[in-house]
Amino acid sequence: MHKLARNTYDHQAMAILQQHRVNPDGTGRIETLFECEGQRMADVDAYSRDIAGKGYGVILEADWSLDYYGTFGRGAQDLALSVGVTPRRATALVRSNQPLHAPPVPLGPLQQPVARWLAPGTDPGATSL
C-alpha cells in the first residue's frame, strides 16, 4: 500500500509504503511492515502524478487523525502505541507493536483491513474494537 499522509499540524505530506497481512493464527491481528516510514513530499501533486504514472490510483481518501501516539521506554522492544480516530466512527483504532495486557477499555481485534474499515459505505457500528 502506498499511503500519502498529510499532516495538518505542519502542512507537510509524507509518502509511506506499507505491507499488511492478517496474522494467520486466527487472532485477527494485522501485521504491518513499513518499507518506507515517511519520506517527506514537498510537492504532493507531483508525487500523485508520479505514482499515477506507475499505475497506482486512489482507492481511499480518509479523514483520519492520530488522537494519541506514544512510546514507553527507549528500547526496540518497548511499547509503541497509537490511537487513530475518524469522524465517521464512534470507535477508534488502537495500534500497538505488542499485545496489550489489561487495557483500561475493552479492545478486540480488527477483523478486516484498515482500508476496508475506513471505506465509505461500511457500517460504522459493524466493527467493534
Which residues are within 8 A (CB) of 104 and not within 5 positions of it... i.e. 6 or more apart?
Answer: none
> Mean pLDDT, the chain, as a whole number?
75
Alpha-carbon radius of gyration of the chain: 16
Q: Which cell goes with 45?
A: 501533486
Say whether 46 sits in a helix, a strand or coil. helix
Count of structural domains within the chain: 2
What residue numbers bound the domain in which 117 lies? 61-129
Q: Which cell goes with 63?
A: 479523514
Question: Among candidates 72, 14, 78, 74, which has minimal Cα distance to 40?
Answer: 14
- Asked if 51 and 97 sit in the same domain, the reply is no
How many angstroms from the chain centroid is the CA of residue 33?
Answer: 11
Q: Tell me which of 58, 81, 102 is where a domain ends.
A: 58
- Asked if 22 and 71 sit in the same domain, the reply is no
The better pLDDT of the pair 17, 103 is held by 103
pTM as predicted: 0.60
User: How high is the pLDDT of residue 28?
Assistant: 64
Give residue-wise pLDDT tens across range 11-62: 678 787 777 777 767 666 677 777 766 778 778 888 888 888 989 888 777 7
